[in-house]
Structure 1
Amino acid sequence: MPVLRRGADLPTRADVVVVGAGITGAAVAHELARRGAHVVVLDGAARPGAGATGHSGGMVRAYDEDPAIAALALPSLAAYRDPARWASGRAPLRAVGAVTVADPARGAALRRAAARINDALRSSAHVVSGAAEAAGIHLAGGIALVEPEAGWVAPAEVTDDWLRQAVADGAAVHCAVRVRAVEDDGGRPAVVTDAGVIRAGAVVSAVGPWAAGPVRGLSPATLVRTRSIQVSIVERRPPAPPHATFVDLRTGRYAKPAGTDRTLIGMPHPVWDSPVDAPPDPAHVQATVSALAAHLPWLPAARILTTVRAADAYAPAPAGGAASGLLEGTGVPHVWSVRAWNGGGVKTAPEAGRRIADAVAAGALSPSV
């Protein structure tokens, strides 16, 4: 992908500037570019997807406890399954299945959810109760919604594909360019960077956890906080069986395959206002292994290969407004901030990107700058 470095022919005008080249910013840029907008994507890192996106586990499934998230996750799973949607010609979904473990009292709600998923996707989602395990995951006394057609994606791979499509449609991607401020320039935004100024019809900020300390003019109305996430990759050797992705709604524990002989494990690490690049917490690593042994009995004997700590952005969903609450104003005309996804950005990115692009195109692209 032609990624332009700092100071290399930065445009002075654009229909839309997208700040942040992670998975959500890439989705928005792709959707806007295919609608004919002249899009410029800016990111302070040396390459796209280098921040929170690159550290994400990438689990995708249609089910979510939050109906607003579920409404985005279901069509997003359909997009991840469809090879025609991708420049590579291959669907990025690794369809290893997804298991959502919950308290048995939630059985009726899970069955209704499975029916909705199957009606929309023609899939085979179903509820497992009274069983010891499902798809290689021990249920530890819970009930499970199983989505055999779900699984996981590689977020950096998805980001790259969308940006390739955006560039093919005329977008420009500039990494290693830091945005210093976004200012009101006669009713339209001016994006001040360390490589020049871009006057735009609109600006969309999709910076994830960096929204907790944004530059002037990109701050959303709702306070954004960061919460630590920490995951480890462990070696999975026979007789350890293959398994689906899973999350236990009772505890927040989760795991996913990370290759033929690797598994990613994690559980909540509720350290608020955590730096994005904080060092790993060794005590949490051991606590995660111990806790997840109830679901993956082979785990205590597995070798830990690496541990990564990052942060997610957390905030209440914006109430209404553009794209039904997907965007918030920042106080500068035609500048919006994408909502904090509370850890669900990958799962929602395809549909969120489409809806955000629709909203921005309707309000910002006519007249063009």
Structure 2
Amino acid sequence: MFTESPPATADVVVIGAGIIGASCGYELATRGLSVLVVDRGAVAAGTTASGEGNLLVSDKTPGPELTLTQLSLDLWRELPDRLAADLGRTPDLELEDKGGLMVARTAEAAEALRALADDQRKAGVTAEEVAADAAPELEPHLTRELVTTVYYPQDQQVQPVLAATAMLAAAVARGATVVPDAPVTGLQRTSGGFTVQTAAGPVSTPAVVVAAGPWSGRIAALAQGRLPVEPRRGMVLVTEPLPPTVRHKVYDAGYVADVGSASADLVASAVVEATRAGTVLIGSTRERIGFDPLIRVAALRLLAAGAVALFPALGAVTAIRAYGGFRPYSPDHLPVIGPDPAVPGLWYASGHEGAGIGLAPATGRLLGELFVGAPPSTDPSPFAADRPGLAAAYPSTAGDSA
């Protein structure tokens, strides 16, 4: 399905074969373009593989990101049938209407959670407050030390590696080429666009889409582009397989504030959910420490303590492993989707931080529409590369290839 050598030319080269690059490649291929998707490593092996597969409205405040999320959730529901038309079979994406439960354990947190939920309802989100004494009906093992909870039935879950792989396979069925293990080492601007230098060989193209996750700023700099995206580290604990213990995605109300934090320091808020295999995933941490891959015991202790505070029974459970990844962080917490205004032919789809899996279908759709000049499904201006929120930010030009 995937190949070792790129073609000599392509209408567009997508750099990055994670969930965002896969969606962009698929949407561009559906519009009749010859597409090449390249990646520094295996398909979906970077940030996508480290994600929990969250498709959430619950952690979004009203505004452009929530609007894009609502579009994306509609597209996620359609995606299996769309892919089936290209693949000749319905792929198993492990797409699940899991629902989310946000928990407030103090009066102050409860007041903030109720205000958030009220604002979200005005923006079209289903947010159902559940009294503390009724919460065990949704989550029998949840702590009784809580003030209130809010249930978000629109929250979903997907297996992101399966989803990215299926989208790339559908793109290939439409004529695209996917070349993994081909780091991009240069982007030379030419009179006709770019020569993309990869470890598998050069490619001439009029257009490049940078969808390389936390490495996107470095790749953009190869073409003199300005993209202020940098890595934000996160870690997850994984328990031994358990009998059914956690039914929904359950997280502390402080999670929303941590997602929106601009701090480079370590922040952690409890997020607990089960997998089909019976293991429980415990997140999440955030810190901006570059591409430092070390697993930090202090962060794991915070994760474990937060999980036990929500589900006391987890205190007697063994954690079998921990893993980390790098989210693509942008300074104003919105992704960059669209062209670089100063470099003709250079396009971006990056900076989603922890929301990239949920926002992938809408990102690909919007990028594809803008690329061919079709009417956009949503207002693209909040995601433009030259928006005011990014005016004072500059990307790093140092680093390795992606």
Identify whether the pair has TM-score above 0.5, normalized to the shorter chain. yes
1:224 equivalent in alignment to 2:229: yes
Aligned positions of 1:147-158 closer than 5 A: 147-158=152-163
1:101 CA drift (Å): 3.7
1:142 CA drift (Å): 5.2
- Name the counterpart of 1:160: 165
- Name the counterpart of 1:181: 186
Q: C-alpha separation between the residues in 1 aligned to 2:331 and 2:191?
A: 31
Contact 1:230 1:307 in 2 (8 A): yes
Aligned positions of 1:8-23 closer than 5 A: 8=5, 10-23=6-19
- Name the counterpart of 2:250: 246
Aligned positions of 1:12-91 closer than 5 A: 12-45=8-41, 47-63=42-58, 64-65=60-61, 67-82=63-78, 83-87=80-84, 88-89=89-90
Unaligned stretches of 5+ residues in structure 1: 119-123, 364-369
Contact 1:151 1:244 in 2 (8 A): no
Relative to structure 1, is the Cα distance of residues 149 and 222 closer, same or farther in structure 2, using a 3 angstrom cutoff?
closer
Contact 1:114 1:127 in 2 (8 A): no
Q: C-alpha separation between the residues in 2 aligned to 1:95 and 1:318?
A: 26
Q: C-alpha separation between the residues in 2 aligned to 1:210 and 1:53?
A: 13
- Name the counterpart of 1:285: 300
1:236 CA drift (Å): 5.0
**Cα RMSD over matched residues?**
2.6
Unaligned stretches of 5+ residues in structure 2: 256-268, 375-402
1:132 CA drift (Å): 6.7
- Name the counterpart of 2:238: 233
2:208 aligns with one of 203, 209, 212: 203
1:302 aligns with one of 317, 321, 341: 317
Q: Which moved more, 1:96-105 or 1:28-37?
A: 96-105
1:55 CA drift (Å): 0.8
Aligned positions of 1:63-142 closer than 5 A: 63=58, 64-65=60-61, 67-82=63-78, 83-87=80-84, 88-89=89-90, 92-101=94-103, 103-106=109-112, 107-114=114-121, 116-117=123-124, 125-131=127-133, 133=135, 135-136=138-139, 137-138=142-143, 141=146
Q: C-alpha separation between the residues in 2 aligned to 1:92 and 1:351?
A: 19
Question: Quick one: which amino acid aligns to residue 263 of structure 1?
Answer: V
1:347 equivalent in alignment to 2:347: no
Relative to structure 1, is the Cα distance of residues 30 and 62 closer, same or farther in structure 2, using a 3 angstrom cutoff?
same
Relative to structure 1, is the Cα distance of residues 250 and 91 closer, same or farther in structure 2, using a 3 angstrom cutoff?
same
CA deviation map 1:245-289 (0-9, x unaligned): 1333414321221224211001224242233xx132233223211
Relative to structure 1, is the Cα distance of residues 266 and 108 closer, same or farther in structure 2, using a 3 angstrom cutoff?
closer
- Name the counterpart of 1:121: none
Identical columns (%): 25
Question: Quick one: which amino acid aligns to residue 323 of structure 2?
Answer: V
1:333 equivalent in alignment to 2:344: yes
1:329 CA drift (Å): 1.6
Contact 1:205 1:218 in 2 (8 A): no
Q: C-alpha separation between the residues in 2 aligned to 1:44 and 1:71?
A: 32
